[in-house]
Amino acid sequence: MKIDGGCHCGAITYEAEIDPEKVGICHCTDCQTLSGSAFRINLVVPEDDFRLLSGEPKTYVKIGDSGAQRAQTFCPECGSPIYSTSVGDGPKFFNIRLGTARQRDELPPKFQYWFRSAQRWLTDLDSVPKFEKQ
Ligand SMILES: [Zn+2]
Ligand SMILES: [Zn+2]
C-alpha cells in the first residue's frame, strides 16, 4: 500500500510503500519518553521502500536495551518524530511513525511489543470518560 505523509509544520514530506500487516505498537520506555505519550505506533518498511520528498530530518542516536544504537529522526523545525533506523552499514529498515502518515486511519495496529512496560491503564481506556472535543 502506498502512503505519504510528513511532519506537522510541513518541512518534511515522504512517501512509502508499506505492508499494512507491519503496523505495531511499541510500549518500550524509550518510546514513551521520545513520543511524550503512552506508546508509539510504527510502520516497518525496508529502506528502499521509503522516499524522502522534502526537508532534512535531524537525527538523535539512542542506545537501546540491547546495547544497539538506534537513530531517531525528527523535524528540526517542529519536532515531529519521523522514523527510526539502525546505525551503520548494512540493509536498513525504517520504523515510520504512524502519526505522520496521512493514511493513518486506515492502518490499525496488528501487534504490540515491549508490553512488559505498557501503561497498565491502557487496557481500561474504554471506561475513561470521553468528550468529542476539548
Ligand atoms: Zn516540521
Ligand atoms: Zn519503543
Q: What is the mean pLDDT of residues 53-63?
A: 97
> Ligand nearest 57 Cα, by number?
1
Confidence (pTM): 0.93
Cα of 15 to ligand 1 centre, how many Å?
Answer: 15
Give dist(CA 59, CA 115) in Å, integer: 26
Domains of the chain, earliest start first: 2-98+108-118 (2.170.150.70)
Q: What is the mean pLDDT of residues 5-28?
A: 98
Is 90 exceeded by the pLDDT of residue 131? yes
Is 80 exceeded by the pLDDT of residue 129? yes
Is 80 exceeded by the pLDDT of residue 65? no
Is 90 exceeded by the pLDDT of residue 73? yes
Cα of 114 to ligand 1 centre, how many Å?
Answer: 28
Cα of 67 to ligand 2 centre, how many Å?
Answer: 14
pLDDT tens-digit map of 76-98 = 999 999 999 999 888 999 999 99
- Closest alpha carbon to 44 in 3, 6, 89, 77: 3
Give dist(CA 22, CA 1) in Å, integer: 11
Q: What is the mean pLDDT of residues 44-55?
A: 97
Is 80 exceeded by the pLDDT of residue 130? yes
Q: How many Cβ atoms from other residues are within 10 Å of residue 85's Cβ?
A: 16
Q: Which residues sit with Cβ closer than 5 angstroms to ligand 2, an ion? A: 26, 28, 31
Cα of 56 to ligand 2 centre, how many Å?
Answer: 23
Structural contact between residues 34 and 81, judged by C-beta atoms closer than 8 angstroms: yes
Cα of 82 to ligand 2 centre, how many Å?
Answer: 14
> Ligand nearest 7 Cα, by number?
1
pLDDT tens-digit map of 25-35 = 999 999 999 99
Is 80 exceeded by the pLDDT of residue 23? yes
